[in-house]
Chains A and B, each alone.
Chain A
C-alpha cells in the first residue's frame, strides 16, 4: 500500500478530473449538476416556495400552523400510495390501479371490522394482504405473459372498483367509530412536543455519524473525501430546517403521528433503494433490463417485489384514508386519488422512463400536490378548477422531466 501522505488518493490519480473540495467545491459541483439537467429536488423546492407565496397572498390562512398540520394529515395517505408508485416507476412500469386498490382496502377495513366484527388489526392485515396478492398477480402477468403493466393494472382498476362496490353492498358507506384508535390515529393523534423536537434532531445526528464513519473508512482506504466542512454544513442546514418546521407546526396542533409514519416509510424505502443490493437491482432493471438479467439479477423477482410493494403500500394508503375520513365509502379511492399519487412521484423527480428516482420524491411531490389542493380549497374553488390546475401542474412536471432527460443525454449523464 503506498503511503497516503506522498501518493495521491486512489481516485485522484487521473489529472483529467477536477476535484471539488470543501464547501465551494460542493456548491460548484451542484451548479454543474443542475446545468447538465440533473435537477434533483430543485424544481420541487422552487414549486413549493411559489405555491406558498401565491396562496398566502390570496388567503393568509394558508400558512397558518394549523392549516399546515391539516395538510400533513391529508398528505400521509396519498403519500403512502405515491411511495409505492415510485417503486414501479423505477422499473419503467406503471400501476394505474392504486386508487382502486386503496378504495378496496378501505372498504375491506369497513366490512371486516365494523360489519363482521373482526379485530381492527385483522381487518388491516387482510387489506394489506389483498394488496400484496394483487401486486403478485400484476407481476406474474408481466413475467409469464409479457402483459404490459399499463393494461394489466387498467384491468385491475376496473375489477377492484367492482369488488369495492360489491363488498360495500347497497348502502355504499360504512362509518367508522370516532373513538376507535384507528380513526383517532387518522384525525387527532399528535406527537408530544418533546418527541417531535427529538425526532427533528435525530436525522442530523445520524447523518453526522454516518458521514464521519464514511470519511474514516475512505481515508483508511486511501480514497478522497469532500471535506468535513461540507458534512457539517449539510447537517446544520438539515437540522435547522427540520427544527424550524417542527417549531412552527408546534405553534398549532403539532406533528401528526400519521405523517410521522409516512416519513418513516419514506426513510426505510430510501435506505432500501440506495444502500441495499435489492435497491441497486431495482435501478439496474429500470436502466437496462437485459444488462441486469445478464449480470445474474433475477429480473422476475425484482419485478414481483416492486409490484407487490406498490399494491401493498396502496392498500396501506387506503387504510389511512379510511382512518382520515372515518368512513369506508364507494367514493374512497376514486376521482383524483390515482393520478395524484402518480403525479406526486413524477413531480418529486422520479422519472417515468425508469431507472431514476428516489423515495424522497414521494414525500416532496405529495407536499406540492396537497399544498395546491389545500390552497384551492381555502379559496373556495370548485373541484372542477382543482382538477384542471392539478392537471396542468402534472403536465409541467412531465415536461420538466423530459427536458431534463434530454439535457442529461446531451451532457452524457444518462
Chain B
C-alpha cells in the first residue's frame, strides 16, 4: 500500500515548517508528507513537538516559517475553521465534546443541517449511517455524551471528524485513556478510516499501537525530524531515534535485564 501511494502526489506536504514560542523553538525545519489511504504515526518523547505540529495543522497555531501545501497548492491555516473546511479534521486528546448535548448534536456541532430549522430526522439518519459504517457500538444517539464510556466517546469524536468527509484526520493520543478491548476497537476504527481512503495522522506514546496500524512512523526529537521508519523497524531502533541515542535509559535497562536472565 505504501509503495503504491508514495508514488502519487501527497495530500499534505510540509516543508521547513518552524514554530517559535518566544525564545523557544518548538518546531524547526519539519518535513512531512501524508498520502491518501495511509496511516502515518507521529512519535517522539514529551516536548518533541508532536502536539505543536498537530496544532499547526489544525489551524490553532500559525507556523513562524515554512510552507504547507495541501493537494499541491500552498495554503495558510489561520483558524480551526479554515483547516476544517479544507479537509483537515482533528480529534484532540481531550476529545472536545459537549457533555450536555446528545450524540447527534455533537456529531453535527457547527455544521447542522438546516440552520434556521434543524432537520433532526436527517441528522439522526446520517449519524446512524456513519456510526454503522465505522461498526461503532453506540446504543442510542439521543443520550447525552455524559452517559457514554471513554471508548464510546472516542468513537463519537472520530465519527465527528469524518462527518465533513475530510482528506486527512489527525488523532492525538486516541488510545491513551482506554482499556485493552477499547484500544483494539479504536485501532480497528483507524484501519477502517484508512480503508475509506482518508489519510490518517496518529500520535501516540504507545509503540505497540503505533506498530500495529502505522504504514510509516515519523519520529520527532526536540522539534526536528529524526527519521522515518516502518513497521519492520526494531523496537531498539525506534527508541534510539526517539531518545536520540542508542545508549539510553531504555537500552541500558533492557541490557541489565538480559544480563540478569543470563545469570
Task: Point out the residues of chain A lying under 8 angstroms from B141, CB to CB.
Answer: 11
**In the assembled complex, how far is the CB of residue B185 from the closest CB belonging to chain A, in whole angstroms?**
15
Q: How far is the CA of A291 from the CA of B120 in the complex (A)?
A: 21
Interface residues of B in 96-135 (CB under 8 A from A): 96-101, 105, 109-112, 114-118, 120-122, 124-125, 128
Closest chain A CB from B90 CB (angstroms): 8
Given A284-B109, A414-B144, A276-B125 contact (CB < 8 Å)? no
A413: chain B residues within 8 A (beta carbon): 144, 146-147
What B residues does A412 contact at CB under 8 A?
A: 144, 146-148
Q: Is the CB of A292 within 8 A of B98?
A: yes
Query: Which A residues lie within 8 Å of B90 (CB)?
Result: 294
Flag B71-99 by CB within 8 Å of A: 1 or 0 each. Answer: 00000000011001000001010111111
Contact A223 to B124, CB < 8 A, known contacts A293-B80, A295-B110 = yes
Residues of A within 8 A of B80 (CB): 293-294, 296
Within the complex, the shortest CB–CB distance from B177 to chain A, in Å, comes to: 17
User: A10-B128, A295-B110 in contact; A276/B118 too (CB < 8 A)?
Assistant: yes
The answer to whether A218 and B121 have CB atoms under 8 Å apart is: yes
A376-414 interface with B by 8 A CB criterion: 408-409, 411-414
Taking a contact as CB atoms under 8 Å apart, the answer to whether B109 and A221 are in contact is: no
- The reply to whether B98 and A275 form a contact with Cβ atoms under 8 Å apart is no
Q: A276-B115, A413-B144, A414-B99 are in contact. Are A281 and B121 (CB under 8 A)?
A: no
Question: A408 to B143, alpha carbons, bound, how many Å?
Answer: 13
- Given contacts A291-B109, A412-B146, A413-B144, is CB(A17)–CB(B139) below 8 Å? yes
Give residues of chain A (288-328) contacting chain B, Cβ–Cβ below 8 Å: 288, 290-297
Residue of B nearest to A289 (CB): B98
Taken together as a complex, chains A and B put the C-alpha atoms of A280 and B140 apart, in Å, by 19
Instruction: Tell me, in angstroms, the Cα distance from A218 to B119 when the chains sit together.
Output: 11
Any B CB within 8 A of the CB of A287: yes
The reply to whether A355 and B124 contact each other, CB–CB distance below 8 Å, is no
For the complex, give the distance between the alpha carbons of A241 and B94 in Å.
Answer: 46
Min Cβ gap B182→A in Å is 16
B100–A280 touching, CB < 8 Å: no
Q: Which residues of A contact B101 (CB under 8 A)?
A: 280, 283-284, 287
**Cβ-defined contact, A277 with B146, below 8 A:** no
CB neighbours (8 Å) of A223 from chain B are 121, 124-125
In chain A, residues 37-85, which have Cβ atoms closer than 8 Å to a Cβ of chain B?
A: none
B122 near A221 with CB under 8 A, answer yes
* In the complex, A286 has a CB within 8 A of chain B: yes
Q: Are A287 and B139 in contact (CB under 8 A)?
A: no
A291 near B128 with CB under 8 A, answer no
Q: Shortest Cβ distance from A33 into chain B, in angstroms?
A: 11
Tell me the count of chain B residues lying within 8 A, CB to CB, of chain A: 42
Task: Take A291-B109, A292-B109, A412-B147 as given contacts and tell me if A284 and B121 are in contact as well, using a CB distance cutoff of 8 Å.
Answer: no
Report how far A280 CA is from B119 CA in the complex, Å: 12
Q: Which residues of the other chain, A, contact B122 by a CB distance below 8 angstroms?
A: 221
Question: Does chain A have a CB within 8 A of B137?
Answer: yes
Q: Is B145 an interface residue (CB 8 A)?
A: yes
**Which of A11, A276, A291 is in CB contact (< 8 Å) with B140?**
A11
In the complex, the answer to whether A409 meets B146 with C-beta atoms within 8 Å is: yes
Decide yes or no whether A253 CB sits under 8 A from chain B.
Answer: no
Q: Which of B99, B109, B128 contacts A295 (CB 8 A)?
A: B109
Measured in the bound complex, the distance between the Cα atoms of B161 and A95 in whole Å is 35
Chain A residues with Cβ under 8 A from B144's Cβ? Answer: 412-414
A218 CA / B146 CA spacing, docked (Å) = 25
A297 contact set on B, CB distance < 8 A: 109-110
A280 with B139, Cβ < 8 A, contacts A223-B124, A414-B100 known: no
Note all chain B residues with C-beta closer than 8 A to A291.
Answer: 95-98, 109
CB <8 Å contact, B121 and A214: yes
Q: Which of B94, B95, B140 has the most CB of A within 10 A?
A: B140
Distance between B79 CB and nearest chain A CB, rounded to angstroms:
8
Contact B118 A11 (CB under 8 A): no
CB closest chain-B residue, reference A271: B117
Residues of A within 8 A of B115 (CB): 276-278
Query: Please, how many angstroms separate the alpha-carbon atoms of A221 and B121 in the complex?
Result: 7
- Within the complex, what minimum Cβ distance (angstroms) separates B130 from chain A? 12
Answer whether residue A14 sits at the interface, using C-beta atoms and an 8 A cutoff: yes
**A281-B110, A284-B109 are contacts. A294–B96 as well, Cβ < 8 Å?**
yes
What is the 8 Å Cβ interface bit string for chain B, positions 127-167, against chain A (1 contact, 0 not)? Answer: 01000000001111110111110000000000010000000
Quick one: CB contact mask for B26-47 with A, threshold 8 Å, 1 for yes? 0000000000000000000000
Please judge, given known A-B contacts A276-B116, A293-B80, A296-B110, whether A287 and B100 are in contact too, CB under 8 Å. yes
Residues in A with CB closer than 8 Å to B140 are 11, 14, 17
Residues of chain B contacted by A245 (CB below 8 angstroms): none
Contact between chains at A280 and B146 (CB < 8 Å): no
Residues of A within 8 A of B128 (CB): 10-11
Task: Say yes or no: A277 contacts B98, CB within 8 Å.
Answer: no
CB pair A294–B92 under 8 Å, yes or no, is: yes
B192 to chain A, nearest CB (A): 19
Question: Which of chain A's residues has its CB closest to B95's CB?
Answer: A291
B99 touches A288 (CB 8 A): yes
Whole-angstrom distance between the Cβ of B102 and the nearest chain A Cβ: 10
B146: shortest Cβ distance to chain A, in Å? 4
Closest residue on chain A to residue B109 by CB atoms: A295
Interface assignment of A212: CB less than 8 Å from any CB of chain B = no
Which chain B residues lie closer than 8 Å to A221 at the CB level?
Answer: 121-122, 124-125
Residues of chain A within 8 A of B124, CB atoms compared: 10-11, 221, 223
Q: Say yes or no: B99 contacts A287, CB within 8 Å.
A: yes
> Among B97, B109, B117, B146, which residue has its beta carbon within 8 angstroms of that of A276?
B117
Subset of 20 A-B contacts with CB under 8 Å:
A14-B137, A217-B121, A221-B124, A222-B125, A223-B124, A276-B115, A280-B112, A281-B110, A283-B100, A286-B100, A287-B99, A287-B100, A294-B90, A296-B80, A296-B84, A297-B109, A408-B146, A409-B146, A413-B146, A414-B99
A residues contacting B by CB (< 8 A) are: 10-11, 14, 16-17, 214, 217-218, 221-223, 275-278, 280-281, 283-284, 286-288, 290-297, 355-356, 408-409, 411-414
Q: Which are the 3 A-B pairs with shortest beta-carbon distances?
A: A414-B146, A295-B110, A287-B100
